[in-house]
Amino acid sequence: MSKKLLIGTGMAFSLLLSPFGQAFAEGPTVGERKQVENVAHRGASGHAPENTVSGYDLAVDMKADYIEIDVQRSKDGELVLIHDTTVDRTTNGTGKVGDLTFEQFRSLRSLDAGSWKGEQFAGEQIPTFEEILDRYRGKIGIFIELKAPELYPGIEEQVAEALKERNLDKPQNEKILIQSFNFESMKKMNKLLPNVPIGVITSNRADTTMKALQEFSTYADWFNPHYGMVTDELVNQVHSLGMQIGSWTVRSQEVADFLFEMKVDAIVTDYPDYVDPGK
């Protein structure tokens, strides 16, 4: 049985012949859009450096419902927020995340992780997981993605402990979701934190069969596919199994409008303003 943490049930589902082949007669109203969870991908990363305080703060200012963060671990065990498994792209340092000690990260944190996005972001640092939990809990929901957890044995227990220390393992207190492309890791997280919603992320169409979806529903609350995989049928199947569906990564208004038409439960976007107009 699914954990069945459902919101927004009872919606009618519209039928489209193809994802982008049909013009929409009317765009959704602001009220309709508010039925969809607005998830700021790595923060408001279309406007500010990804996985930085500036990006997360902007997501709060733009009234997103969640920030999405990527969690990895330093060589000596500190949980840090960065998407790639190396620091090369988003800092002016080099090396694999798992090969750098936290002291080396502190050195990198003193370097520039933001000016690649714009001069106004010069001096941005790589945040730690616990810093971000402490800064944003109670202000905005958090989609916690475990990035390549297979590289970091025991990271699930570490993340669970950090949440428990802050009473964030109780979903009635805060909006927390844990997700990953690594399904075995999510099975483990479901056992460690049975009251916290779990999500599986995929870009593999083999994961959209009814058999695969039924397996996911035994431990996951969210099925989160790439937007190119989303169809009316898939949304109906996911909902029929008691799961919600969140799709990624929106970088255009056209894709946002398509996902609204598909009645997904969450839109993961670099641009929160595409989901909530006027932000």
- Is the pLDDT at 182 greater than 80, yes or no? yes
| Number of compact structural domains in the chain | 1
What pTM does this model have? Answer: 0.86
Please state, as a whole number, how many other Cβ atoms lie within 10 Å of the Cβ of residue 94.
10
pLDDT at 101: 87
Closest CA to 262 of 2, 6, 20, 4: 20
Q: Nearest 10 degrees: CA dihedral of 17, 20, 26, 30?
A: 120
Tell me whether residue 132 is in a domain: yes
Q: Is the pLDDT of residue 108 over 80?
A: no
Tell me what pLDDT residue 65 has.
96
90 located within any domain? no
Residue located via tokens 């982008």: 20
pLDDT of residue 189: 98
- Judge whether 29 lies within some domain: no
Phi, psi of 137 (to 5 degrees): -60, 135
pLDDT at residue 54, as a whole number: 95
Judge whether 72 and 152 are in contact, CB under 8 Å. yes
pLDDT at 92 over 80: no
Q: Does residue 269 form part of some domain?
A: yes
Domain presence at residue 250 = yes
User: How many Cα atoms are found within 13 Å in the side-chain-facing hemisphere of 161?
Assistant: 7
Asked if the structure places residue 118 within a domain, the reply is: no
Is the pLDDT reported for residue 135 higher than 70? Answer: yes
Report phi then psi at 110, rounded to 5: -80, -10
Q: Is the predicted pLDDT of residue 5 greater than 90, yes or no?
A: no
Reported as a single tens digit per residue, the pLDDT across 214-254 is 999 999 999 999 999 999 999 999 999 999 999 999 999 99
Better pLDDT: 138 or 145: 145
* pLDDT band for position 15 (cuts 50, 70, 90): very low
Report pLDDT for 8: 35
CA distance 66 to 47: 16
**Identity of the amino acid at 44:** A
Residue 214's domain is classified under what CATH number?
Answer: 3.20.20.190
Q: Which residues of 59-78 are buried (b: 16+ CB within 10 A; e: fewer)?
A: bbebbbbbbbbbbbbbbeeb
pLDDT value at 142 more than 90 = yes
User: Could you tell me if 137 and 175 are in contact, meaning their C-beta atoms sit under 8 angstroms apart?
Assistant: no
The model's confidence at residue 194, banded by pLDDT at 50, 70 and 90, is: very high
Confidence of residue 172 (pLDDT cuts 50, 70, 90): low
The mean per-residue pLDDT over the stretch 141-156 comes to 98
| Residue 202: domain span | 38-71+127-146+156-275
The residue assigned the tokens 């109906």 is 236
Q: What is the mean pLDDT of residues 202-217?
A: 98
Share of the chain above pLDDT 70, in %: 79
For position 32, what pLDDT does the model report? 54
User: Going by C-beta distance under 8 Å and a sequence separation of 6 or more, which residues neighbour residue 171?
Assistant: 5, 195, 196, 197
Domain contains 223 = yes
- In this predicted structure, the answer to whether residue 118 has a pLDDT above a threshold of 80 is no
If 0-12 CB within 10 Å is exposed, 13-18 middle and 19+ buried, where does residue 269 land?
buried
- The catalytic residues are 41, 83
pLDDT at 272 over 70: yes
Structure-model confidence comparison of residues 166 and 171, the more confident one: 166
Q: Identify the pLDDT of residue 52.
A: 94
Mean of per-residue pLDDT scores for the chain:
86
Q: What pLDDT score was predicted for residue 96? A: 94
Q: Which residue has the higher pLDDT, 238 or 126?
A: 238
The answer to whether residue 177 is domain-embedded is: yes
- Give the mean pLDDT of 129-158: 97
All residues at 6 or more sequence positions from 15 whose CB lies less than 8 Å from its CB, including other chains = 232
Q: Which two tokens stand for residue 135?
A: 């800064």
What one-character-per-residue DSSP string does the chain give?
Answer: -------S-S------SSSSSS--SSPPPHHHHTTSEEEEETTTTTTS-TTSHHHHHHHHHTT-SEEEEEEEE-TTS-EEE-SSSBSTTTSS--SBGGGS-HHHHHHHHTS-SSTTT-GGGTT--PPBHHHHHHHHTTTSEEEEEE-SGGGSTTHHHHHHHHHHHTTTT-TTTS-EEEEES-HHHHHHHHHH-TTS-EEEEE--GGGGSHHHHHHHTTT-SEEEEBGGG--HHHHHHHHHTT-EEEEEEE-SHHHHHHHHHHT-SEEEES-HHHHSTT-
